[in-house]
């Protein structure tokens, strides 16, 4: 290997760290983008910080959205900073898994997060903020949508405990935790649990205790 090739190879490694030593801080991912909201009307572009060093988006990680597009057009909204809650982290995590290799990464000193930093626990909570920022008004959510958001957060918590949980067992756990939510029949509760459990089937039926994104 020539010196120039070796230099390029080393530079590539430094530009895309797999882990960040504690003394170096945390990984920052630049170039993240995600489509979200009803009909995927919002496209968000920005940066993520891996505050808990889990090597993927998870609850408590920091997000800065630099650009918000609505229905393909720039909204002109200001940059937004927030922390990921469990349900929203799950949505960001699925997107991260598909684009991780295209992101630019760097080790960066830890950013101090103030108590006034908002945390959006679910995609629906973020959508309400986006609607307000882009002049669309806060979208209404149904009891079924609220339950789906809750179950997504529960499933994310359960699947990160490092245990092998078959899809059917996860579904039962979600139904049991939901109990008898007001305005929803048992068949609807079971249907939502079945839907959410299917989305988390891979994450919960892994053999190893740690779920990693990408290859």
Q: What is the pLDDT of residue 137?
A: 53
Residues in the chain: 215
CA distances to 22, 79, 86, 122, 191 from 109, in Å: 10, 21, 24, 28, 44
CA 172 to mean position of chain CA atoms: 24
Residues 209, 161: Cα–Cα separation, whole Å: 8
Q: What is the pLDDT of residue 206?
A: 58
Within a 10 A sphere around the Cβ of 144, how many other Cβ atoms?
15
pTM: 0.59
Identify the residue whose tokens are 């990464």.
Answer: 105
Q: What is the pLDDT of residue 211?
A: 37
Q: Where are the beta strands (DSSP E) in the chain?
A: 26-36, 42-49, 62-70, 73-74, 80-84, 104-108, 119-120
CA atoms in the 13 A half-sphere facing the CB of 88? 24
Residue/partner pairs of 207-210 with CB below 8 Å, 24 or more apart: 207/164, 209/162, 209/163, 210/162
pLDDT tens, residue order, the chain (215 aa):
444 433 333 334 444 455 777 677 889 999 999 999 888 889 999 999 998 888 899 999 999 999 999 888 888 888 999 999 989 999 999 999 999 999 999 988 888 888 889 999 899 899 989 988 887 654 556 788 888 888 888 888 888 887 888 999 999 999 999 998 888 899 999 999 998 898 888 878 754 444 333 33
Q: What is the pLDDT of residue 93?
A: 93
Q: What is the pLDDT of residue 18?
A: 57
Q: What secondary structure does DSSP assign to 139-198, as a single string?
A: PP--HHHHHHHHHHHHHHHHHTT-----HHHHHHHHHHHH-S-TT--HHHHHHHHHHHHH
Q: What is the pLDDT of residue 5?
A: 38
Q: What is the pLDDT of residue 208?
A: 44
Q: How many helices and strands (H and E) does the chain possess?
A: 7, 7
């Amino acid at each position: 290997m020539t010196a120039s090739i070796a230099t390029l190879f080393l530079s590539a490694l430094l530009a895309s760290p797999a882990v960040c030593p504690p003394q170096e801080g945390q990984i920052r991912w630049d170039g993240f983008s995600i489509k979200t909201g009803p009909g995927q009307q919002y496209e968000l572009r920005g940066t993520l910080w891996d505050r808990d060093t889990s090597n993927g988006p998870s609850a408590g990680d920091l997000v800065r959205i630099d650009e918000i597009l609505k229905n393909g057009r720039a909204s002109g909204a200001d940059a937004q900073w927030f922390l990921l809650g469990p349900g929203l982290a799950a949505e960001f995590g699925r997107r991260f898994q598909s684009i991780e290799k295209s992101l630019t990464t760097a080790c960066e000193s830890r950013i101090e997060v103030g108590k006034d930093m908002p945390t959006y626990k679910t995609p629906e909570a973020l959508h309400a903020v986006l609607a307000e920022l882009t002049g669309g008004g806060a979208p209404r959510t149904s009891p079924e949508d609220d339950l789906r958001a809750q179950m997504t957060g529960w499933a994310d918590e359960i699947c990160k405990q490092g245990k092998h949980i078959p899809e059917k067992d996860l579904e039962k756990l979600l139904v049991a935790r939901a109990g008898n939510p007001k305005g929803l029949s048992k068949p609807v509760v079971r249907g939502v649990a079945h839907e959410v459990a299917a989305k988390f089937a891979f994450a919960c039926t892994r053999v190893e205790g740690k779920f990693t994104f990408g290859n």
